[in-house]
Structures are given as C-alpha cells and as structure tokens.
Amino acid sequence: MKFGVCTGIGDIAKIRTAAQVGYDYYEGSFSALYLAEEDVYEKMLAANKEYGIKMESANCFIMGELPVTGRNVDLPALREYLKKGFSRAAELGMKTVVFGSGGARAVRDGQTYGEAFVQIVDFIRDTAAPIAEEYGCVIVLEPLRKAECSIINTVKEGVMVAAATGRANVAGLGDLFHMVEGGDDISNITDCKGWIRHAHISNPIGDGKNKRIYPLSADEYDYAAFVNAMEEAGCLRCSIEASMQDDFDKIAAPALAAIKNR
C-alpha cells in the first residue's frame, strides 16, 4: 500500500517536503484545482516533474454550489466542472478521487434518505463514473460523520452506494477519524474486502477542539490495526488528512513513520 499526505493546491513547499521525506504521492483538492489559476496549475506540473512525486488522489470532489441531490441539480454544469477537473487532475497523476463533499450530497429539506440515495447513485453511475473512466480514475465514497453530512456515514454505506452504481471504477473508502467519531468498527473494513480502494488517516482523538491533527507516534493510537485492516481489504493508498500546519517540514517525517513503520 502506498502512503501519501494531503496538501493544498499550489503549495509547492509541502509537495517538495512530501517528496523529500519519502511519501509515495500527495493528495490535493479536486475543487480547488478546478478553480486554480493557470499559473498555479503549471507550477504544480513543474513540481511533479522536479520532485518526482504525483498527485495520485484528490479530495473535495464536488463543490457545495453544485449539489447532486435535491431539486436544483444542474447536470450540464456538473459535466463541465467534471471534465475540466478530471483533465487537470489526470495530468497531475490522479488515479483516485474522494467523494466526501457533504454539502453537495446532503439529504435536502423535504427529501427522504431514499430519494437522496437514488440521486447520488444515479449521478455517479450516469455522469461522474463515465467521465472518470475516460481519465482512468476511480471514484471512492467517503463516509462522513453525521455532524458533517446526513447520508453515507459508515464504510458499509459507502460500499453499498458503490455497489449500487454497478460501475467497476467506483469503490469505498475508510477514514479513521470519521470511523472513530461515528463508532464505525474497524472490522467493517475487512468485511468489505475487495471494495475498499483508498483510506484517510489522522490522529482520531484530535486536539480536543474538533480539529484533525497529524499522527506523530505509533504509541499514541493503534494505527497499525487500521492500516493492517486496510491492507487486508485490498486498499491501494492511505493519505494522512489533517489540518495544515506551518511546521509541516518538521512533522512530515514523524507522521509518515507513525503509520508506516508498524
């Protein structure tokens, strides 16, 4: 399994540090990449080449301004957004895009859970997955804690959505922070063996202020149980997803060691 770290779009310093420390890839933001000015995009392409590292995954898939549920779904606008985003992301090396996007996929007022579920499945199957396939990319469903989204809150729910699409390039994801917050047992990862293609990891205890922080020691949490379960399930990549810190150059190596050397 490859290990990566989430960075900001255009944050060349963090991309350089990630490469120097030994991360296999970095994870950017799909929506931020879509919005980025051309010069920022060009700098990222140059950084990929100079530092020998690629943006193999991206999060923040769908902007909240482009909902996929409810009455105001604009499919032509979504298709235009996806085509530009995938074109840029694929050139940066993206193989996996993470569909968290709680604002875009929420159950709307006056809508049932089932109606939203069907809309999400239809959007992925008929619109997003075919475009992703053109660029050789897989879409993974990210379960979010209920405080962030009203639907797809567990690993198994994410896998059910993926299975319902019937698309080979749609799968599930496990995020340690959201799993611990939602009481989603790690055994649910191995129960979904073959369906989990990506993972997010951070210190799930956080900083006591609802903020995700970097793992810094194998002793602070049983990261090994999560990573081992992911490997058993067939997961391809695991990204550290935590709030950006100014001292990333100092904590990048300990964070990688905490999850990799187990």
Q: What pTM was estimated for this model as a whole? A: 0.96
Among 151, 225, 231, 247, smallest CA distance to 199 is for: 231
What is the domain range of residue 204? 2-260
- Confidence (pLDDT) at 138: 98
Contact 149, 181 (CB under 8 A): no
C-alpha 31/C-alpha 33 separation (Å) is 5
Contact 161, 152 (CB under 8 A): yes
- Confidence (pLDDT) at 193: 97
Q: What is the pLDDT along the chain (262 residues), one digit of tens a residue?
A: 999 999 999 999 999 999 999 999 999 999 999 999 999 999 999 999 999 999 999 999 999 999 999 999 999 999 999 999 999 999 999 999 999 999 999 999 999 999 999 999 999 999 999 999 999 999 999 999 999 999 999 999 999 999 999 999 999 999 999 999 999 999 999 999 999 999 999 999 876 666 789 999 999 999 999 999 999 999 999 999 998 667 899 999 999 999 998 6
Tokens representing 204 are 């799930």
- How many separate domains does the chain show? 1
- Confidence (pLDDT) at 209: 62
CATH code of 155's domain: 3.20.20.150
Task: Give the residues across from 2 on adjacent strands.
Answer: 237
- Confidence (pLDDT) at 17: 97
C-alpha 129/C-alpha 106 separation (Å) is 19
